[in-house]
């Protein structure tokens, strides 16, 4: 079961979000490398990592728990990009691109959680 996560759309789209986050945060000020840049990157990495970890667990309930952790990390990323936009590290169009991907991942994770709960 451990490799099944690679077939999940939620995992694939979470990886796309992380790649987008890394590309956008390259443009953040250097003094943020251990601050906002690091925090957004860690939170975005946590989304796909928790899906993968949950897939390796022995029960649906454990998998659901890790999907919930992924959803929490997704919310964290959303909050952090809003901060980045408000302090002018992200332009509106780049923010909207990230927000759109966040919404896509959120929808997929929510649907997957519902599927696992049945």
Over residues 7-23, the pLDDT tens digits come to 999 999 999 999 999 99
Average pLDDT estimate for 104-109: 98
d(CA 57, CA 82): 33
d(CA 70, CA 43): 9
Q: Which residues contact 20 (CB under 8 A, 6 or more apart)?
A: 97, 98, 101
30-76 residue pLDDT tens: 999 999 999 999 999 999 999 999 999 989 999 999 999 999 999 99
**CATH, domain range 4-117:** 1.20.1440.60
d(CA 73, CA 17): 12
Q: Which residues contact 101 (CB under 8 A, 6 or more apart)?
A: 13, 16, 17, 20
Residues 95 and 81 sit within 8 Å (Cβ to Cβ): yes
Count of beta carbons in the 10 Å neighbourhood of residue 96: 12
d(CA 7, CA 71): 19
């Amino acid at each position: 079961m451990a490799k099944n996560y690679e077939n999940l759309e939620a995992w694939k789209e979470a990886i796309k979000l992380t790649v987008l986050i890394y590309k956008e945060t390259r443009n953040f000020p250097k003094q943020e490398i251990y601050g906002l840049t690091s925090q957004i990157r860690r939170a975005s990495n946590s989304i796909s990592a928790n899906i993968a970890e949950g897939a390796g667990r022995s029960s649906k309930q454990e998998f659901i728990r890790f999907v919930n952790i992924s959803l929490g990390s997704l919310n964290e990323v959303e909050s952090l990009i809003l901060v980045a936009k408000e302090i002018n590290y992200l332009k509106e169009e780049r923010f909207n691109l990230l927000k759109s991907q966040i919404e896509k991942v959120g929808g997929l994770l929510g649907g997957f959680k519902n599927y696992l709960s049945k």
